[in-house]
Amino acid sequence: MKDRLVAKSMEEVWEWKDSCYREVESLPLHSALQKRLKDSIEKTRELGLMYADLQAQPSMKIAEKGATYETKRKPDSGC
């Protein structure tokens, strides 16, 4: 029987998110967002990634305002 109710990896994610929050909690929203963007750009450069590389990956794109999405339903199996 498992003694843990929450996976260790989930606890690590919560700790990471809490740390990120504490890093900007005293900043106004605009300043906090600017810091996050600046940090992200610096890390992207540090890792040798280019913005164009990120644009080429569809999974990295963010939807534009007003975008609509459609889902394709699987044919009804009759069950």
pLDDT digits (tens, 9 = 90+) for 4-36: 788 999 999 999 999 989 999 999 999 999 999
pLDDT for position 23: 93
Predicted confidence (pLDDT) at residue 38 exceeds the cutoff of 70: yes
In a domain, residue 77? The reply is: no
Q: Tell me if 46 is assigned to some domain.
A: yes
Q: Is residue 67 part of a domain?
A: no
pTM of the model: 0.50
What's the domain range around 52?
A: 28-60
Report yes or no on 44 lying in a domain: yes
The total domain count for the chain is 1
Measure the CA–CA gap between 77 and 20, rounded to whole angstroms: 46
> Is 32 within the bounds of a domain?
yes
Does 49 reside within a domain? yes
Angle separating helix axes 8-24 and 29-46, nearest 10 degrees: 120
What band does 48 get if pLDDT is binned at 50, 70 and 90? confident
Give the 3-state secondary structure of residue 79. Answer: coil
In a domain, 13, yes or no: no
Does residue 3 belong to any structural domain of this protein? no
